[in-house]
Chain A
Amino acid sequence: MSDLETPWVQPEAPWAASEHTTSEHTESAEAPWAATEQTTSEQLIEPFATQEGFDESPFASELQTETENELLLEDVAHKCRPGEGPPAAPGGARPLIHQSTAAVRSRNATVGYAQQLLNRFLEQVRGGTMACADTRPATLQHIASLHQQLKRNGQDPLVVDCRFGPSTDLATKMFQACHGLLRDGKIGPRTWAVLERLAGTEPVRPDPVPPVPTPTQTVAVREDVWTLSRQDPWHPTIRFYAAAVGAMKALGARLDSADPKSWGFLANIHNEQCEHGNFHFLSWHRIYLHHFEKVAREAVVRLGGPATWALPYWNYNAGNRDDSRSLPPAFREPTLPDGRTPNPLFEPQRGAGFNDRSRPTLLAANNIELTALDELAFTTPVRGGFGGRTPAGANDLGDPGQVELEPHNLVHSMIGRVMGDPATAGLDPIFWLHHANIDRLWETWLARGRGRANPTDTRWTTRSWTMGNGTARTQMRTSEVLSISAPPLSYRYAVLEDPVPTSREAELEAVSQFEHEARPPEVVGATPRPVAIGSQLSVANVSIARPTGPMAEMADESGPKPGTRVHLRLENVTATRLGAEVVDVFLNVPDPARARDMPEHRVGAMPMFGVVRASKRDARHSGGGVSATFDITDLVQRLREKGQWDPAQLRVAFVPVADAEGRVPDGDVAVGRVSLFFS
């Protein structure tokens, strides 16, 4: 189906009238966000007010008064406001305070008092004058690592807002680590006793003038869409997103829309300019999200929403809860709660079951694993590192980074259809939340420390992009977007939620620390010709030779020695027509027909996102397809232990993954070469 013929174009959408509206839209201005500046609160409430469960609209009260939910928008409903200065020391016994949903624990003047004391501690940290009781290197390194996170949150010093949030929690843990206290982030009697010693400490730089509001004080907070959805499927942040999407679609829902603030135009930027398969992937998409968020926020404000509205993110890994792996309810409903107004967040062209309202298809848990976070380098010679391999020159000799492959590409491919094609992906409202999550994972990766850092290569830092035009134009270079909490970006993530590093991190640390100084990766085997992947099982045999270069001493006749990393590469994957959106890859399965029953042989999944695009020879692609690298060191070790590793031969099985309805379309996907590397 052509991009321009897709049925998601809704020319009769009822929110179609605005100052940009063309005549074909003007007669259907019934939706609440239809009239832009003229929109009233009553109009906004209306579609949400009649559905079961919404008989008393949740928005009605929220639009009149501030509620708990509004606090998520960095509200000003606390007893102290950012920049007002610290509250005085409270009288009486010091209460236990910590991160909590209870105001008595987390939102009161005592918290502001503690924040002020913690700021004195942070002043000492910055000045290198902190007097820690625990001076072990590991502790100091831990404190430095937390300090980095704090700085990335734009919270050094803490904004004294009387709210015990994640940053106050971090500062508390730093303080506790320094003073040998239990690092639980709770300020109880023991922590208070030590913390209040700072009360007598004069600030290093007393500032008699009222504090000048800093850019960090208007930092918008990107929240997890599932956290919001569990509070209310139509939480204000989601509701305003829906309203903004509706307004943007009204300006033009097709990819050829000319209005730079229209939905189609914004999606088409991804179609025409997106950077994939090299080390610009993360920075380009960060700038793209920022551009989109600016336009969307403008629409939100025009519709009566808060100026601090921020794009939510979709954390499909959140808390190991299964429902996080499904699309949030607001994205699955064909209509708004009134039961008749089409829902702008609904995209009918999604993979089987993803829009199911009662039992939605879940993203496969083993395709959204966060092992990319274990990577220590942003870019590495073979597997692309975390963020992607450095392209050679102006063109694309690069490789995707691990976070681009999984979860990024796999989520695109699993949802499929509109999301499964880079040309149309931006038309699905979930696209933006998915990318906000990828952007959050970049921050999470950096926050892990242990040498993780962005590239300093000037080809990366000085690369500049221009998006949009006229009244909606963004021109930025990568170096401007490396601190998300500082202008011009000015946002942060509510929670980074870093999973526990796997043992692979330590292994990688051992081999990657001096990767550029150490032995180069060496090919030890490859298929002599391409491998076709149809709708059924395909098998490729790879003859393995013993390495003869610098890796020779890292392997013997039985295979790689301990300490050697083993990588399976699928190179030059091309297609003009996709079959399965995802292909599972297995190694040395005794009976390939039963590969699916042997998850212990699974290498991973190859997403087909962008394969057709990268196989075309056009202004942005060389036609060489895409490549993917899998670290199979642990799998090889397990196979050796089971006696299923043949040092002379590797058998790779490709199993196309059927959709939720059991279908695997015919395609012409081919893997140009399957190769094995030691490093």
Chain B
Amino acid sequence: MAGAPASPLLRLVLRIHWHTPGWVAAVVAAGGWLALLVALAHDPTHLVGLDAPHRPADALTHSAVMSAAMMAPLVVPHATWVASFSLWRRRYRAVAVFLVGFLGVWTALSAVVLAVGPRASSAFGWRPTLLVAFAVATAWSAVPYRRRMLQRCGLTVPLAPHGWRADADCLRYGVAIARPCVLTCGPLMAAVMLDHGIVVMALAAALSVAERRALVRWDWSIAAVAALGVLAVSLAPR
């Protein structure tokens, strides 16, 4: 590596900095998981799910943290792409603006779920609500339209090189990627957020990443969503 430092660790850091600038999205996700683990340490019931209403401010914070933890890993390639196709001095700014657009959409939708979910569970009971949410997620995962949306997750857009146009393009790109992402993962994520047990959350995030990386077959992912539902309901405290 040209001008590379002698230390293997520093070489690795430099390599990631140069070739995988999307690491920022991974770090954001890691931050989200760390915050969730801290919450778990304070309240172990978060491990398997919690049927408790949030105050509006908490709902927004919680949805931001959950969105970062679960959704940011999906866009590491996109963040790398945004950085690689921006001027060098703007690459991390471009990634940050892109993530604001992408996670902003998810946070807003998650906040709505966290606000509406508890009302549904108080009306129908938590387990029936979870059951219905995961049933909808399983059915949605089998819909061909969803596959079409998944394809759109690979969208790229032209990015202006500098100025406000560049920021606007990155923000717009984040929103543009969030849209098909919501339409593919939305029902599952809504179900997971209703449950907000960390175990189910982690498994759902892993499943989503595997699906994006084409590591699981289409029919297996449908079965996996159904299995997640069974797990969430069976773990839910009575």
Contacts and interface: CB of A to CB of B under 8 A. Distances in A.
Contacts of B154: 391-397, 622, 624
A572 interface: yes
A395 B152 contact: yes
A675 interface: yes
B9 interface: no
A514 B160 CA distance: 30
Contact of A547 (B88, B159, B165): B88
A523 B212 CA distance: 27
Contacts of A548: 87-89
A19 interface: no
A640 interface: no
A414 B62 CA distance: 57
Contact of B165 (A391, A463, A528, A675): A528
A673 B158 contact: yes
B124 interface: no
B134 to A, nearest CB: 23
B1 interface: yes
A530 interface: yes
A619 B148 contact: yes
Contact of A672 (B81, B144, B157, B163): B157
Contact of A393 (B1, B88, B213): B213
Interface string B161-188: 1110100000000000000000000000
Contacts of A545: 87, 161
A186 to B, nearest CB: 48
Interface string A510-524: 000010111111111
Given A459-B214, A619-B144, A520 B18 contact: yes
Interface in A524-570: 524-530, 543, 545, 547-551, 553
B84 to A, nearest CB: 7
A334 interface: no
Contacts of A618: 148, 151
A503 B79 CA distance: 36
Contacts of B155: 622-624
B18 A519 contact: yes
Contacts of A622: 151-156
A617 interface: yes
Contacts of B2: 518-519, 550
B77 to A, nearest CB: 3
Contacts of A516: 19
Contact of A529 (B80, B84, B160): B160
B150 interface: yes
Contacts of A393: 77, 153-154, 212-214
B138 interface: no
A394 B214 contact: yes
A528 B163 contact: yes
A524 B150 CA distance: 32
Give the secondary structure class of A's interface: loop
B119 interface: no
A523 B153 contact: no
Contacts of A439: none
Contact of A624 (B147, B150, B157): B157
A544 to B, nearest CB: 10
B63 interface: no
Contacts of B80: 392
Nearest to A396: B154
A619 B158 contact: no
Contact of A523 (B1, B85, B156, B214): B85
A621 interface: yes
A161 interface: no
A571 interface: yes
B86 interface: yes
B160 A528 contact: yes
Nearest to A458: B215
B196 interface: no
Contacts of A672: 157-158
B212 A394 contact: yes
Interface in B64-84: 77-78, 80-81, 84
Interface string A378-397: 00010000000001111111
B148 A518 contact: no
B18 A392 contact: no
A17 B22 CA distance: 60
A530 B158 contact: yes
Contacts of B147: 619
Interface string A422-458: 0000000000000000000000000000000000000
A13 B144 CA distance: 38
A620 B152 CA distance: 8
Contacts of B160: 526, 528-529, 673
Interface string B206-226: 000001111000000000000
Given A397-B154, A519-B18, A572-B156, A392 B87 contact: no
A480 B210 CA distance: 24
Contacts of A675: 85, 161
Contact of B88 (A523, A526, A553): A523
B199 to A, nearest CB: 25
A542 to B, nearest CB: 9
A5 B160 CA distance: 42
Contacts of A549: 18, 88-89
Contact of B150 (A395, A517, A518, A551): A395
A521 B19 CA distance: 9
Contacts of A528: 160-163, 165
A548 to B, nearest CB: 5
A621 B148 CA distance: 8
Contacts of A525: 161
Of the candidates A527, A528, A627, the one having the most CB atoms from chain B within 10 angstroms of its own CB is A528
Interface in B110-154: 144, 147-148, 150-154
A225 to B, nearest CB: 36
6 contacts: A381-B19, A392-B78, A392-B154, A396-B151, A396-B154, A620-B151
Given A516-B19, A673-B160, 10 more contacts: A395-B152, A526-B159, A527-B161, A543-B161, A550-B3, A617-B152, A621-B151, A622-B151, A672-B158, A673-B158
Interface of B: 1-3, 15, 18-19, 77-78, 80-81, 84-89, 144, 147-148, 150-163, 165, 211-214
